């Protein structure tokens, strides 16, 4: 089955959602389609995302949340040049690694646990969203409320190399910096002008002091523009800055400092907007405890589960930030997310599903001590 589902094409995404809903119903899940929420979008913007899917298995009071997304970064038509293809031990295709195989793994493991009668007084809720690749504006509130009702969250984003889980993810911020000056003729009247580009350049140098690379705090001006013609003192300049931090404290420090910036040149104005959309997934004691439980469950079936850190964010950042222990990277083993060589390791899929089932069974046990 080859159904493309780029985030910005709700019709295509819903086609994929229909197929997914049918498969989830087939394992006995109670499936609900949830319209994209407009609450977090900028004023005037319409929610342009497909319907999110919530699939509940069991009806117990304790809830385990399995989280992921079925939108991809690949536009419609990608399959023509990058088809689903088996090549030796690898399955190639747009979105297989990030993260459709993860949804398949979660579904299979849930089915196994359910059919073996392992749910007890608990329930598994799978939440498969449609806008993770574009910032999760229409799903964030849903993710946070579903997480708040859960004892633990497992995220089925791609694993680290070799299958290691992600117990730490950097927080991701984006800031827009706009400098305003006064335009003037660069030759006749330079003294009357105030250069917005000069103001912006000074600010970009100044914010380097906010970095702390040794502790994972970075600021990167990835895009900048300004001015109109070479012989005009520029009245406008702007830059977009990517910010990363491992701890919440660092993210808050950077955000405060960015908003406290003031113009350096007389007559210039400076406007800074934005912030950390995804707070860090911190490796807290609760996360470590959950990882130890998963590691022990995997060891029982002979699998050595490792952990590591990721520089990028996911929806697991939201669930961790509301205080629910979260383990990310439960998805497939492979490589090439967002890249032409995207693939998953076929031989690793069944052992991975077995590992997930073992972790779920352990988590669902009333004696797990989680939740």
Q: Is the dihedral of CA 320, 117, 126, 59 positive or negative?
A: negative
Sheet holding 218-226, edge to edge: 218-226, 236-245, 171-180, 269-278
Q: Give the Cα separation of 202 and 181 in Å (integer).
A: 13
Output DSSP code: residue 221: E
Single out the segment in contact with Zn ion by CB under 5 A; choices: 18-26, 47-55, 74-82, 97-105: 97-105
In angstroms, give the least distance from the CB of 296 to Zn ion: 27
In angstroms, give the least distance from the CB of 289 to Zn ion: 25
Nearer to Zn ion, 169 or 198 (CB): 169
**CB under 8 Å to 223, separation ≥6 — which residues?**
239, 240
98 binds Zn ion (CB under 5 A): yes
127 binds Zn ion (CB under 5 A): no
**CB under 8 Å to 325, separation ≥6 — which residues?**
151, 152, 153, 284, 286, 287, 289, 290, 370
Of the candidates 56, 154, 145, 70, the one whose C-alpha atom is nearest the C-alpha of residue 104 is 70
71 binds Zn ion (CB under 5 A): no
Nearer to Zn ion, 70 or 175 (CB): 70
In angstroms, give the least distance from the CB of 286 to Zn ion: 23
| Contact of 178 with 234, CB cutoff 8 Å | no
Single out the segment in contact with Zn ion by CB under 5 A; choices: 34-42, 83-91, 142-150, 155-163: 155-163
Nearer to Zn ion, 99 or 254 (CB): 99
In angstroms, give the least distance from the CB of 138 to Zn ion: 16
Count of beta carbons in the 10 Å neighbourhood of residue 89: 11
Structure tokens at 81: 């040049």
In angstroms, give the least distance from the CB of 92 to Zn ion: 17
User: Total binding residues for Zn ion by CB under 5 A?
Assistant: 3
Count CA within 13 A, CB hemisphere, residue 260. Answer: 9
Q: Give the Cα separation of 318 and 170 in Å (integer).
A: 12
Nearer to Zn ion, 66 or 99 (CB): 99
List the interface residues with Zn ion, window 294-353 (CB under 5 A). none
CA 14 to chain CA centroid, Å, is 20
**For Zn ion, which residue of 99, 126, 258, 359 counts as binding (CB under 5 A)?**
99
Q: Give the Cα separation of 173 and 76 in Å (integer).
A: 28
In angstroms, give the least distance from the CB of 157 to Zn ion: 5
List the interface residues with Zn ion, window 156-175 (CB under 5 A). 157
Single out the segment in contact with Zn ion by CB under 5 A; choices: 34-42, 96-104, 122-130, 210-218: 96-104
Nearer to Zn ion, 130 or 368 (CB): 130
In angstroms, give the least distance from the CB of 334 to Zn ion: 12
CA distances from 108 to 64, 150, 175 (A): 15, 20, 40
Single out the segment in contact with Zn ion by CB under 5 A; choices: 154-162, 197-205, 213-221, 238-246: 154-162
Single out the segment in contact with Zn ion by CB under 5 A; choices: 151-159, 209-217, 263-271, 277-285: 151-159
Nearer to Zn ion, 128 or 175 (CB): 128
Which residues are near Zn ion by CB under 5 A? Answer: 98-99, 157
């Amino acid at each position: 089955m080859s159904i493309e589902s780029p985030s910005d094409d709700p019709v295509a995404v819903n086609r994929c959602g229909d197929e997914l809903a049918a498969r989830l119903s087939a394992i006995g899940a109670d499936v609900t389609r949830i319209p994209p929420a407009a609450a977090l979008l900028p004023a005037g913007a319409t929610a342009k995302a497909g319907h999110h899917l919530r699939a509940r298995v069991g009806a117990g009071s304790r809830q385990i949340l399995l989280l992921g997304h079925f939108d991809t970064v690949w536009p419609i038509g990608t399959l023509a040049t990058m088809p689903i293809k088996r090549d030796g031990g690898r399955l190639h295709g747009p979105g297989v690694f990030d993260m459709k195989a993860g949804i398949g793994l979660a579904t299979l493991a849930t089915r196994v646990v359910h059919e073996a009668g392992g749910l007890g007084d608990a329930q598994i809720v799978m939440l498969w969203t449609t806008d993770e690749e574009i910032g999760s504006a229409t799903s964030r509130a849903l993710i946070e409320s579903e997480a708040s009702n859960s004892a633990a969250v497992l995220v089925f984003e791609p694993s680290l190399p070799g299958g290691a889980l992600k117990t730490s993810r950097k927080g991701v911020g984006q800031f827009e910096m706009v400098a305003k000056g006064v335009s003037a003729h660069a030759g006749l009247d330079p003294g009357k002008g105030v250069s917005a580009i000069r103001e912006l350049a000074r600010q970009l140098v100044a914010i380097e002091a906010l970095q702390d690379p040794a502790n994972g705090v970075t600021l990167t001006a990835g895009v900048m523009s300004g001015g109109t013609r070479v012989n005009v003192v520029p009245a406008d300049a702007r830059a977009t800055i990517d910010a990363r931090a491992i701890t919440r404290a660092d993210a808050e420090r950077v955000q405060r400092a960015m908003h406290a910036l003031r113009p350096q040149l007389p007559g210039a104005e400076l406007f800074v907007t934005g912030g950390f959309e995804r707070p860090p997934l911190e490796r807290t004691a609760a996360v470590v405890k959950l990882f130890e439980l998963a590691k022990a469950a995997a060891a029982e079936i002979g699998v050595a589960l490792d952990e590591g850190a990721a520089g990028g964010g996911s929806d697991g950042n939201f669930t961790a930030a509301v205080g629910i222990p979260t383990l990310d990277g439960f998805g497939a083993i492979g490589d090439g997310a967002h890249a032409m060589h995207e693939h998953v390791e076929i031989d690793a899929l069944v052992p991975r599903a077995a590992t997930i089932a073992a972790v779920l069974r352990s988590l669902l046990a009333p004696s797990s001590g989680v939740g």
